[in-house]
Structures are given as C-alpha cells and as structure tokens.
Amino acid sequence: MDLPDPSSIPSGSAATCADDDRPNLGNLLPAMAVACLALLCLVVVNLMPGTEASGRYIVIAAPSFDRRAITEMIHDAGAGVVAIGMLPGVAVAWSDDPGFADTARAHGAWMVTPTSAFAGCGVSNRVPE
C-alpha cells in the first residue's frame, strides 16, 4: 500500500493548524482566574476570626503516611483525630494545646495550620481503629 504524495493533500485540510487555533496564554486566563479565586477563598476562610479558638488543625505529612501512621503521629503529638483526608498524609486534628503545631511538626508533620470548624472538602469521616 502506497502513501499519498504530501503535495496532493489540500492546504485547507484538517491536518493543518491555523495560528488562531494554537494554545496561548489568553486561553488559560479563565482557568487561572478561577484558581486564584479559589485560593483567595481558602485564605479568607482560614483567616476568619475564631479559627484559632476552634482547636482544629489541618495536618499534612509525607504521602507515605497512611491512615494508621498519621493517626498515630497525631495521637503521639497529644491530639485527637477529627477526620482523615482522602489523600494520604492529610488529616484534621483537634487539640486544646496551643503548642500542638510545633509538637506535631516534631513528630513528622510537614505542615500544621489552624482551620475553622468546617474542614472543607477532601476529608472523609472514617477514622482508623
């Protein structure tokens, strides 16, 4: 079977791409605007008054921490587990100790940040036993 000669393909065919059809930065602007708005909303929710007083913290550890490992790490830091995240190494903890964030970091947490009573999406209610 012989392939057609490239010169026999019409120039206006679907095989060619007009300069207007190529992706450019302008095509990404709506997605970037939505991402920036979502980030701004997360910052505002976390900075709302009363988030520190709630005693709830989002704890992020290495992805190698499974549900049991992050639960043990939070308990070893002197707190309780409110919920386990859907992603590995993410959980919501509760502690009335103002030094919990530092203690959790000393036990292996990468990031510990206070959160409001609403933990947000990405958290399941199933806690390992």
Give the pTM: 0.55
CA 14 to chain centre: 39
Do residues 69 and 77 touch, judged by C-beta distance below 8 A? no
Query: CATH says 14-129 is which class?
Result: alpha beta
The rounded distance, in Å, linking the Cα atoms of 90 and 108 is 12
81 membership: H or E segment, kind and range: strand 80-85
Residue 19 CB: number of other CB atoms within 10 A? 6
What are the domain boundaries of the chain? 14-129
Do residues 46 and 116 touch, judged by C-beta distance below 8 A? yes
DSSP code of 14? Answer: T
87-104 per-position pLDDT tens digit: 788 888 998 888 888 999
26-63 per-position pLDDT tens digit: 778 888 888 878 777 766 666 665 545 578 888 888 88
